[in-house]
Chains A and B, each alone.
Chain A
Amino acid sequence: MQGMGGPGEISQVGQLSEPGVGEFVELMKPRVMSLVVFTALTAMMAAPGSIHPVIGMIALLTIAVGAGAAGALNMWYDADIDARMARTAARPIPRGRVTANEALTFGSVLAIFSILTMGVLVNWTAGALLALTIGFYLFVYTMWLKRRTPQNIVIGGAAGAFPPMIGWAAVTGSVSIESVLMFLIIFMWTPPHFWALALYRCRDYERAAVPMLPVVAGAKETRRQIWLYSLILVPLAIAPALIGMAGVTYGVVSAALGAVFLYLAWRVCRITEGREADQAARQLFAFSILYLFLLFAVLLLEHAVARWIA
């Protein structure tokens, strides 16, 4: 498919030697994968009912492999962009360690296996959601939106938000308001997170002709949008405590973290010039990762403790 002239066309700088296992692991974006598995595990813990530990472990493994498959397929299609950006130039395909066709085959096989395994061994609601996640990331985000609109990461962010719904469905076999709420938290978290990064990596995206918001609409508008999305995100992140899905600890921690998030987003909004502006964006980007991790960690702990006591 790579040879068919897709946007992922890249001149391979001669493969050095046979690719090793490490390069294929790199294709799966292990860091993204770990966050995906973590949010799915939290949803599995928070979901009512129970799942056999073996089936639960299989569900998590298939979610991890499915996320890895989506990562590999993304790297196959975006190899040309990756080669032009400092942040991604060292990925296996631009580096010439893995050919685009190898990445395509690897990603496709993993995607099919993970979806079928989830469907057959766990349940088909979770299997369908996993298929939707991989499909959304590849076809909607990577192929359709990423190179066309500054709303790419807003709509495409849904792909990263689905894993808690898959975890929830693995336990309950259904979709419910609680799992949709977890989806919405990650969905609303994605724009401020990526736009903070895009603010200080603007030239990178510009060089790669990726229409991120700062490239298309400018830094001022991006800062305004970061602030608006943060204003929606923080109350949403407190909502699990208000609907009885989480306890007081979560509510307090979420409110405190939300206050810090809003403060950092406000700083990004106000400091617009010089190194301080870059620094503010970097701080928000770094904190946004910690923020999401801590929200889900507290939710996970609360439910783990509740299950242990019961």
Chain B
Amino acid sequence: MALVMSPNRDGEQESKKRQRMRSLAIALVLGVMAVLFYLATIVHLGSNVANRPL
């Protein structure tokens, strides 16, 4: 027997898919920001990273 999905259920699934994509996009943006802040910190510290007193 073929499974027939109601339009309501389709809409719900579409909504969940969009929500999931948004969450992924937010996670990606936060990840990129963390990397950028890390890289910028290294650039600003420059050679001092290697020359710090032990």
Chain A contacts to B: CB under 8 angstroms: 17-21, 24, 52, 54-55, 58, 61, 113, 117, 121
Contact = CB atoms under 8 A, between A and B. Distances in A.
B14 A121 contact: no
B16 to A, nearest CB: 8
Contacts of B14: 17-18
A17 B36 contact: no
Contacts of A19: 18, 22
Interface in B19-54: 19, 21-22, 25, 33, 36-37, 39-40, 43-44
Q: What is the interface of chain A mostly: helix, strand, loop, or mixed? A: helix
Q: Closest 10 CB pairs between A and B?
A: A18-B18, A121-B40, A18-B15, A20-B18, A21-B25, A17-B15, A52-B43, A54-B39, A54-B43, A18-B19
A55 B25 CA distance: 23
Contacts of A55: 40, 43
Contacts of A18: 14-16, 18-19, 22
Interface of B: 11, 14-16, 18-19, 21-22, 25, 33, 36-37, 39-40, 43-44
Contacts, number: 38
Given A17-B11, A21-B25, A52-B43, A58 B36 contact: yes
Q: What is the interface of chain B mostly: helix, strand, loop, or mixed? A: helix
B21 A20 contact: yes
Contacts of A20: 18, 21-22
Nearest to A53: B43
Contacts of A24: 22, 25
B18 A121 contact: no
B25 A61 contact: no
B27 to A, nearest CB: 12
A21 B11 CA distance: 17
A52 B46 CA distance: 11
Contacts of B21: 20-21
Given A20-B21, A117-B36, A121-B40, 9 more contacts: A17-B15, A18-B14, A19-B18, A20-B22, A21-B18, A21-B21, A21-B22, A54-B36, A121-B37
